[in-house]
Amino acid sequence: MARFRYSLQNILNIKEKMETQAKQEFGTAQAALNVETEHLERLKERRREYEEQSAGLLKGKLDLRAIEENKEALLKMDSIVATQAIRVEKAKENVEAARERMAEAMKERKMH
């Protein structure tokens, strides 16, 4: 009995490779988003620690230099957190774009 041979097998193989590559890109983008999100959470925690330190400085003996340094640190942390939030949003956009490319590659493979 003759063995079935799909005449467009080469195209199907290429589509499968493209799908695999799109899945890998999606995984990489998702991992990058996770890293950026974790970094943002660590920065927010550090900012909360500065706020707690600020409250402690105002309760005890007033040390103007320490209060001013803490205030500057809080302002700097606000800037850093805002910058990191932008990086997280960009990473989310990259994940969404990779997801769309992956979905398109899956559709292409299923058509053949």
pLDDT in tens, 51-102: 999 998 888 788 899 999 999 999 999 999 999 999 999 999 999 999 999 9
Q: How far apart are CA 40 and CA 107, in angstroms?
A: 35
What tens digit of pLDDT does each residue of 7-41 get? Answer: 788 888 899 999 999 999 999 999 999 999 999 99
The residues, ordered by sequence, that sit 6+ positions from 53 with a Cβ below 8 Å of its Cβ are: 70
d(CA 82, CA 47): 12
pLDDT band at 1 (very low <50, low <70, confident <90, very high): low
Domains and CATH numbers, the chain: 9-111 (1.10.287.1700)
